[in-house]
Structure 1
Amino acid sequence: MKDRNHLARVSTTHQVHIIENGLIDIPMLQILQPDGSLHKEAKEPDLDKDTATRIYDTMEYIRVLDERMIGAQRQGRISFYLASTGEEAAAVASAAALSDNDMIMSQYREQGALAYRGYTTSQFMNQMFSNEADPNKGRQMPIHYGDKPLNFMTISSPLGTQIPQASGYAYGQKMAGNEAVTICYFGEGAASEGDFHAGLNMAAVLNCPVIFFCRNNGYAISTPAEEQFAGDGIASRGIGYGVKTIRVDGNDPLAVYAATQRARELALEESCPVLIEAMTYRLAAHSTSDDPTGYRSREEEDKWRAKDPIQRMAKWLEKKGWYDEAANKKLIEKSRQDVLAALKEAEKIDVCPIDDIVTDVYDEVPWHLKEQVDELKAHIRKYPDAYPKTSGRVK
């Protein structure tokens, strides 16, 4: 029988013993150097040409998507957007190391993971324009994606809610005997939420096969990491909760792939949680509502531009003989054309009928909600110019 004595593993001392911050030096896995060459002691992960080029192509596509959608927001065509510039490797390379059966629970900067799984440009656009083809039926802000066939849980706005949910979902996978894990993405800012601590503790105690993937990108909106916590990043917290922990260079696609691949093996083989802290940097603004020039310098950004994950992987692919510059230029141009075409098409699709707000929720709509919908329609009819997309559909 398991020893229930919680002091069984505790050593003793007979003098006051202070454990100081930094006592444990947590190393960071790095395989690729910025010039695309392998570090001398690094072992290249088992990555075939098709998977490697798919990772690279997806990162290039996401950068194009981000650029176009920021532009669309500035033009007033969508209301909000979050770019992942500089962090593409963290989402894409980690998703590549998973099985399609694994559940992804995202925060809001992991569009690369969804694109890697096959989410189309049209699907991205329909969600961001909240039109009739949007599976969320316009109930979510832009970039709150979700896709059941691709095992990608719908994103929620509140920070950290997906963390305990991931522990619970992974526990269900374990109980069902599934050969699958759950990966949960979040930023270091979300790790300050209570849900982070509850989720990790739950996963550790119940031995849930979940990968907690923290993108430590240096800032929680405008708050730098050194003003968020005094400890050794987020990795040290995993150790404190008894969770197997890996720290990785989040701008190194090969290292991210290798770390996630190993984390998945551990989660399945030992039925346990694993925390990955990916050290990266958000080159873009936090969102289209943010201006990073107010809290960081251009010099700081330029230092991280030299560690661009896309450029780093391109150089590695070139050394492998897997990179074609002409083909890559065609890929980028095609991505731009596809995004622009899908954007224009999504704009033409009608928004969902007003009545869907209630009829798609209730079998029999309560009287008080019917009254509210009627009042809303009357308001729209009174001010049709303020609601150009909606007014024509109000009866």
Structure 2
Amino acid sequence: MSYDLTLDDVAFLRSRYGAKALETASELELTPSSLLGDLGVLRTRYPEYAAALAETVRARRRAAGRLRHADDLLADETAVQQATAAPVAALRAADIVGRHPGAVVHDVTCSIGGELLALAAEPGVSGVLGSDVDPVRLAMARHNLEIGVGGRRPPLLLRADALTPTSTADVIIADPGRRSGGRRVFGIDRLDPPLLELLAVYAGRAMVVKCAPGIDYRNLRTRFGFEGQVQIVSLDGGVREACLWTECQGTPENRASVLRTMPDGRTRLYEVTSDDPDELDDPGVGEWIVDPDGAVVRAGLVRQYAHRHGLRQLDPQIAYLTGDAVPAGERGFRVIERLPVHEKTLRGALAARGCGSLEILVRGVEVEPDRLRKRLKLKGDTPYALIVTRIGRSGVAFLCEPGVRA
């Protein structure tokens, strides 16, 4: 189910009666299997707003642990899916202050207000504005900001097209839409608004543009002349975005920012940049294999990361690293045996060790992990990991102990 809220829906949900209705809806399962029945229950009491109530509660559940004040948000599931996770937004706000102390910041695609909340909470930002072309998203943002900033004055909101400059703010933030007709789009010309138009409209101004992590930023540099910094950000092992920073003279071309949520709820950050040293020992195989965070890989900074931690590559063209220890906080696999990528050989080696469950990691070769796992016919009780890759032109498999985090 996907339901687009209306201005009337938002007005109802913001009312005292709507708040009570949301409490009632939150007691329902609202899962795919129960949704039709739950909507029937809601229609008996709130016939005009049943879909809006269900959509809002489902969006809040999706936002839990990801966005600020998730229990009180007004949002639809699409908006939550597109919104920046709170730790990532907080990192960006801090970065903006580090580059532009005391800046006034304008989010020209503010949607439901996630970035605005992070900016409003950053003491080094002197002013915050938000705009969006969608009046419903603006209405939701207004509510979310009012509950999110407490007794402070919420950021100013206005309705405007992102391609029409409406402020003289020091820094512009934009997050072009990456979905069309409910499906994800990838080409920079298919973003909404198109990326190149955004960059052209705000040329000469400090700008931060959030893009999909898979964007071909190399093509953006070589073909379209982008000269700013590309920052790849991950959170808890998942690559979240590629962030394009203009007006970044004197900063590294590429930056990987790796965020990890600690057991106490705080967020730990480490970064690797293209200015870091990248000299490595010759490739080889050590006691451990380390799979660098996806942000490091996508930013093309594997060698810099390896140099920092005294690791080396299995192969110069492959992102797997190896060494005698695993970097603190990272996941590593202790090598037990090196094997050829031959199903009969692999099956025999796994059977001899009583392998019952197998994590398969693949890089540099055409192997589909789920299909390979089925063909290996595991029958034992012991868990293992299998890293399938190539060294030179030859495929190779490393049977490892289950991955552990140092």
Identify the structure with bigger relative contact order (alpha carbons < 8 Å, sequence gap 6+). 1
**Which of these two proteins has the greater Rg computed from alpha carbons?**
2
More helix as a share of residues: 1
Same fold (TM over 0.5): no
TM-score (norm 1): 0.31
TM-score (norm 2): 0.30
